[in-house]
């Protein structure tokens, strides 16, 4: 197999990122450069990501980020085999900035363009680390924008087992931090505050716990926290710690219960020893990792938590998805659209139509 070198561009949320990756002759990925320009300082005054500000910051930062990735890789655009850019799902202004930059480089240097589904990047990201996950594996993707289980069988062969019916878990962490005035991004601050808290003080709901399937719902938990904050009036540091600890206890119970069901679904397909992978910013939470690790051990699964830099949004995973696509002979034309919504199952159908099961209207 011919080695492939691909530039990846990621701008779907609040990280401006570019990376160069090489797939070697054995199909193994090597990250040659990996640059991430975070926007936290831009959004901190608003205690959340502001889409318009994110898009403007991508415009300002992307050229320099791509130049840095190419410089770190010690390559020119002519050395590339393709250009991969996130084409969705995400905040549409940012997605358009990155996709257009990718199209411009592809056009100017006569290289194939690959419009990458951001979720496919996350789904394949556990393969980036040395000795990374081998197919198939069960992925829990849990971030500020996503909360879903994906059975990753092969490149382009994905089954979504369940996803959130309302908010992502990271969103709930961020909302609680905002309510308690802890700062942004909220996840790590809630985790820190919870260390000194009593997890039993507030009886918070655990939506869908014990139900069939592996969908999530966090809106009720979020609302219950808002009600408690309202009731507390001016919460003390101890109140804050107790509420954060109680919130985390509820979130962990939900994650464990839903993951247990997702593993049962995965078992029926794969039977043998499974692999559970957690990715996304919330997977940085030590409590979640510990619960998933214990669950994996109980069910004879391997638990794989990729390095944090590839759990959160990055361009190496976009370059990987693009390179894998290119290796399979796929590329996109320059009219490829930016998509605010783009389910991964649909992506799988585009890439490997023959592997799709249960499509509506499909003949048996």
Question: Which residue lies nearer to ligand KG4 by CB, 193 or 282?
Answer: 282
Q: Which two tokens stand for residue 142?
A: 């849990």
Region binding Zn ion by CB under 5 A among candidate stretches 170-178, 206-214, 259-267, 310-318 = 310-318
Q: Is 281 in the site for ligand KG4 (CB under 6 A)?
A: yes
Q: Is 98 in the site for ligand KG4 (CB under 6 A)?
A: no
Least CB distance from residue 122 to Zn ion, whole Å? 6
Residue 275: strand pairing partners: 302
Q: Is 89 in the site for ligand KG4 (CB under 6 A)?
A: no
Q: Is 34 in the site for Zn ion (CB under 5 A)?
A: no
Q: For the window 129-158, what string marks contact with ligand KG4 as x by the rule CB under 6 A?
A: --------------xxx-------------
> Applying CB under 5 A, which of residues 10, 174, 228, 313 lies at the interface with Zn ion?
313
**CB-CB contact of 157 with 295 (8 Å):** no
Question: Which residue lies nearer to Zn ion by CB, 85 or 245?
Answer: 85
Q: In what order do the strands lie in the sheet with 302-304?
A: 157-163, 147-154, 137-142, 275-279, 302-304
Least CB distance from residue 315 to ligand KG4, whole Å? 13
Least CB distance from residue 280 to ligand KG4, whole Å? 4
**CB-CB contact of 204 with 246 (8 Å):** yes
Least CB distance from residue 173 to ligand KG4, whole Å? 4
Q: Which two tokens stand for residue 180?
A: 């308690």
Q: Is 16 in the site for ligand KG4 (CB under 6 A)?
A: no
Least CB distance from residue 54 to ligand KG4, whole Å? 12
Residues 330, 325: Cα–Cα separation, whole Å: 5
Q: Is 185 in the site for ligand KG4 (CB under 6 A)?
A: yes
Least CB distance from residue 66 to ligand KG4, whole Å? 20
**CB-CB contact of 173 with 282 (8 Å):** yes
164-183 positions binding ligand KG4, by CB under 6 A: 170, 173-174
Least CB distance from residue 13 to ligand KG4, whole Å? 5
β-strands 29-38, 15-23 pairing: antiparallel
Q: Which two tokens stand for residue 89?
A: 């799902």
CA distances from 185 to 89, 188, 255 (A): 21, 7, 21
189-208 positions binding ligand KG4, by CB under 6 A: 191
Q: Is 312 in the site for ligand KG4 (CB under 6 A)?
A: yes
Question: Which residue lies nearer to Zn ion by CB, 161 or 310?
Answer: 310
Least CB distance from residue 361 to ligand KG4, whole Å? 32
Region binding Zn ion by CB under 5 A among candidate stretches 58-66, 139-147, 331-339, 344-352 = 139-147
Residues 116, 89: Cα–Cα separation, whole Å: 9
Residues 57, 268: Cα–Cα separation, whole Å: 46
Least CB distance from residue 38 to ligand KG4, whole Å? 9
Question: Which residue lies nearer to Zn ion by CB, 116 or 229?
Answer: 116
Residues 275, 261: Cα–Cα separation, whole Å: 14
Element (H, E) at 31: strand 29-38
Residues 147, 163: Cα–Cα separation, whole Å: 6
DSSP single-letter state for residue 309 = H
Q: Is 306 in the site for ligand KG4 (CB under 6 A)?
A: no
Q: Is 29 in the site for ligand KG4 (CB under 6 A)?
A: no
**CB-CB contact of 93 with 49 (8 Å):** no
Write down the H helix ranges in the chain.
Answer: 40-43, 51-73, 92-108, 118-124, 169-179, 186-194, 219-232, 237-270, 286-298, 308-311, 316-327, 344-351
Q: Is 284 in the site for ligand KG4 (CB under 6 A)?
A: yes
Binding residues for Zn ion, rule: CB under 5 A, are: 143, 313
Binding residues for ligand KG4, rule: CB under 6 A, are: 13, 143-145, 170, 173-174, 185-188, 191, 280-282, 284-285, 312-313
């Amino acid at each position: 197999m011919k080695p492939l070198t691909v530039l990846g561009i990621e701008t779907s949320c609040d990280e401006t990122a570019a990376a160069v990756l090489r797939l070697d002759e054995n199909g193994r990925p090597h990250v040659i450069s990996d640059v991430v320009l975070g926007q936290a300082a831009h959004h901190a005054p608003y205690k959340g990501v502001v889409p318009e500000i994110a898009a403007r910051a991508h415009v300002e930062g992307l050229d320099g980020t791509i130049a840095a990735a190419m410089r770190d890789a010690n390559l020119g655009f002519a050395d590339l085999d393709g250009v991969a850019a996130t084409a969705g799902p995400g905040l549409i202004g940012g997605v358009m900035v990155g996709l257009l930059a990718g199209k411009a480089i592809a056009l100017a240097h006569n290289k194939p363009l690959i419009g990458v589904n951001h979720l496919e990047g996350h789904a394949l990201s556990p393969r980036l680390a040395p000795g990374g996950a081998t197919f198939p594996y069960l992925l829990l993707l849990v971030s500020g924008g996503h909360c879903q289980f994906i059975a990753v069988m092969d490149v382009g062969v994905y089954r979504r087992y369940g996803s959130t019916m309302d908010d992502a878990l990271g969103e709930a962490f961020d909302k609680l931090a905002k309510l308690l005035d802890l700062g942004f991004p909220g996840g790590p601050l809630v985790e820190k505050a919870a260390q000194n808290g009593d997890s039993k003080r507030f009886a918070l709901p655990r939506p869908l716990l014990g139900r069939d399937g592996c969908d999530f719902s966090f809106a009720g938990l979020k609302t219950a926290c808002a009600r408690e904050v309202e009731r507390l009036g001016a919460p003390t540091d101890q109140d804050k710690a107790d509420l954060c600890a109680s919130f985390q206890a509820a979130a962990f119970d939900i994650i464990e219960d839903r993951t247990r069901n997702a593993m049962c679904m995965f078992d029926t397909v794969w039977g043998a020893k499974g692999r559970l992978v957690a990715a996304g910013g919330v997977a940085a939470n030590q409590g979640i990792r510990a619960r998933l690790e214990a669950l994996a051990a109980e069910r004879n699964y391997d638990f794989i938590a990729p390095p944090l830099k590839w759990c959160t949004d990055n361009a190496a995973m976009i370059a990987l998805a693009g390179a894998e696509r290119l290796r399979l002979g796929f590329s996109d034309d320059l009219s490829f659209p930016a998509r605010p919504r783009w389910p991964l199952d649909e992506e799988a159908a585009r890439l490997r139509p023959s592997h799709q099961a249960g499509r509506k209207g499909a003949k048996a």
